[in-house]
Chains A and B, each alone.
Chain A
């Protein structure tokens, strides 16, 4: 029923959860291979114990990571504010560019009024 994977030699346990998962897979295969209820019960308890240990370790990791994530989040929010301000600046610049055309129109108006005196 379950997928059985052989243990692989590990010199440096990079991810303890992966090792525990492999151990649980092995135990699960043994669980289905035995018919004695007492043995099944012992194996089930081992599986549960390993899973609970793995979960407890994960909880500790999450606790440790949390403060780092709060600091990183503050920096990301500040960068986003900078980017949003830049978007506003671009909008202002675009409006300014549009005003160049209006400036030419004003010159034309001035020319009409002052033209007879300067042309």
Chain B
């Protein structure tokens, strides 16, 4: 009896031991990248508009409503990207839920119920038949354990199937999004960097022309503004470049997850290593964003 029960327990336990933590980490990092990229798009338009109108006004050039706008808010560009990045965030959240779906509390409770019911059986059996119940207390415990492990394993298998289906179905879209975002964000970084250079020349020239009439406080205020712009010439393209690289890494890692979930091992070492690299890179990018937003 015990041997018969122990065999399925051992087999099921082997399946249940496969961890889904790397999928959870990947999904969580993808969610962060989606949120940061969304902020980067919004920030691009506001930074661009500010650089354009401050340069024009400092130089006394004519301004039009166009001077105060970015390029994404003009048409549907921002709306499409916001919708797409929200879609990426929602997808990553669903993947994260599948990877972390904890059903053990319900299963533990069911296993405890089974153990209690078997015990109740024992008493009723004896009372009704007057003969001994054929299972000992440890047999009862074994049956409850077998039930728990088998149930855990079958739920894990359901989760793995669901992850595989979602990843295979979404991969073509993830690849397209990853490539386009990588290209756009890299370009946006250098474009805004160029405008900051232009902005810096406008500020310095304005300062040179007006410095004789400025109070010490006004001179310092100019100095602080020029310093902020000077730092952004390098920092902003670097930040957009990092977000672009994050998007590229999501595409590469998702493709590895897709390939990996089709194999018996389910999560390959290549995928797990890529996730570690992605998580660390996303953390660095988020810190960069916090610095830039100060």
| Residues of A in contact with B (beta carbons under 8 Å apart) | 1-3, 15, 17-18, 20-21, 24-25, 28, 31-32, 40, 44, 47-48, 50-51, 54-55, 58-59, 61-63, 65-66, 68-73, 75-80, 82-84, 86-87, 89-91, 93-95, 97-98, 100-102, 104-105, 107-108, 111-112, 115-116, 119
Q: Which B residue sits closest to A22, measured CB to CB?
A: B190
Complex A-B, nearest 3 residue pairs according to Cβ-Cβ distance, in ascending order: A86-B162, A101-B113, A79-B170
A25 to B196 alpha-carbon distance, docked (Å): 10
A1-B204 CB under 8 A given contacts A55-B191, A90-B162: yes
A104-B71 CB under 8 A given contacts A55-B191, A86-B98, A87-B94: no
Measured between beta carbons, the chain A residues less than 8 angstroms from B114 are 100-101, 104
A47 to B273 alpha-carbon distance, docked (Å): 44
Q: Which A residue sits closest to B83, measured CB to CB?
A: A73
Docked-complex contact A62 and B184, CB < 8 angstroms: yes
A111 to B126 alpha-carbon distance, docked (Å): 12
Docked-complex contact A25 and B113, CB < 8 angstroms: no
B232 interface residue (CB < 8 Å to A): no
Docked-complex contact B83 and A105, CB < 8 angstroms: no
A104 to B88 alpha-carbon distance, docked (Å): 44
Measured between beta carbons, the chain A residues less than 8 angstroms from B163 are 83
Q: Which A residue sits closest to B168, measured CB to CB?
A: A79
Measured between beta carbons, the chain A residues less than 8 angstroms from B279 are none
Q: How far is the CB of B100 from chain A (nearest CB, A)?
A: 11
B76 interface residue (CB < 8 Å to A): yes
Docked-complex contact B84 and A76, CB < 8 angstroms: yes
Docked-complex contact A116 and B128, CB < 8 angstroms: yes
Chain B interface SS verdict (over half)? helix
> How many chain B residues have a CB neighbour from A under 8 Å?
77
B214 interface residue (CB < 8 Å to A): no
Docked-complex contact A78 and B158, CB < 8 angstroms: no
Measured between beta carbons, the chain A residues less than 8 angstroms from B91 are 76-77, 79-80, 83
Q: How far is the CB of A73 from chain B (nearest CB, A)?
A: 4
Offer 29 A-B interface pairs, CB within 8 angstroms, sorted by A. Answer: A2-B233, A15-B186, A18-B186, A21-B190, A24-B194, A24-B198, A25-B197, A44-B59, A44-B202, A47-B194, A47-B197, A54-B190, A54-B191, A55-B71, A70-B80, A72-B174, A73-B84, A76-B90, A76-B174, A80-B166, A83-B163, A90-B98, A90-B158, A94-B107, A95-B106, A97-B107, A98-B113, A101-B114, A112-B124
Q: Which of A1, A76, A111, A112 contacts B200 (CB 8 A)?
A: A1
A20 to B194 alpha-carbon distance, docked (Å): 8
Measured between beta carbons, the chain B residues less than 8 angstroms from A116 are 128
B77 interface residue (CB < 8 Å to A): yes
B180 interface residue (CB < 8 Å to A): yes
A75 to B186 alpha-carbon distance, docked (Å): 25
B118 interface residue (CB < 8 Å to A): yes
Interface centre among B161, B165, B166 (most CB of A within 10 A): B166
Q: Which of B55, B106, B198 contacts A94 (CB 8 A)?
A: B106
Docked-complex contact B166 and A108, CB < 8 angstroms: no
A53 to B200 alpha-carbon distance, docked (Å): 19
Docked-complex contact A51 and B176, CB < 8 angstroms: no
A111-B166 CB under 8 A given contacts A15-B187, A97-B151: no
A115-B129 CB under 8 A given contacts A31-B201, A44-B201, A72-B173: yes
Docked-complex contact A24 and B197, CB < 8 angstroms: yes
Contact indicator per residue, chain B 56-95, by CB within 8 Å of chain A (1) or not (0): 0001000000000001100111001101100110110011
